[in-house]
Structure 1
Amino acid sequence: MFNDLQAAHAWIELPARRDREVSHKTYPIARERRWREVNHHPEADITISQWEESRDTSSHEATTPENRYFVGIAMKTTRAKLTRDRQIIYDGTMPAGTLYVSAPSKPLRVQFQGPCAFLHVHIPADHFAAPAAEALHDLVLLRDPLAAELAKALIEHGDATDHEFARCVGQTLAMHLTRLEPPRAKVNALPKWRLRRVEQYIGDHFDRCISLSELANVAGLSRMHFAAQFRAATGYRPREYLLNHRIEHAKQMLATTGRPLAEIALAVGFSTQAHFSTVFKRISGQSPARWRLASKNERPATDVAPRRRPVSDNDWMVGAAA
Structure 2
Amino acid sequence: MFTDLQAAHAWIDLQASPRDHQEHQAAQPIPRESGWRRVERGPNAAIEDITISRWEDVRDGSSHEATTPENNYFVGIALKTTRAKLTRDRQIIFDGTMPAGTLYVSAPSTPLRAQFQAPCAFLHFHIRADQFPAQSPVTDGLGDLVLLRDPLAAELAKALIEHGDAADRQFVRCIGQTLAMHLTRLEPPRARVNALPKWRLRRVEQHIADHFDRSISLSELASVAGLSRMHFAAQFRAATGYRPREYLLNHRIEHAKTLLATTGRPLAEIALAVGFSTQAHFSTVFKRISGQSPARWRLASNGERCEIEPLPRHRPAADRDWIASAAA
Query: TM-score normalised to the size of structure 2?
Result: 0.49
Q: Which has the higher contact order (CA 8 A, sep 6+)?
A: 2
Structure of greater Rg:
1
Query: TM-score normalised to the size of structure 1?
Result: 0.50
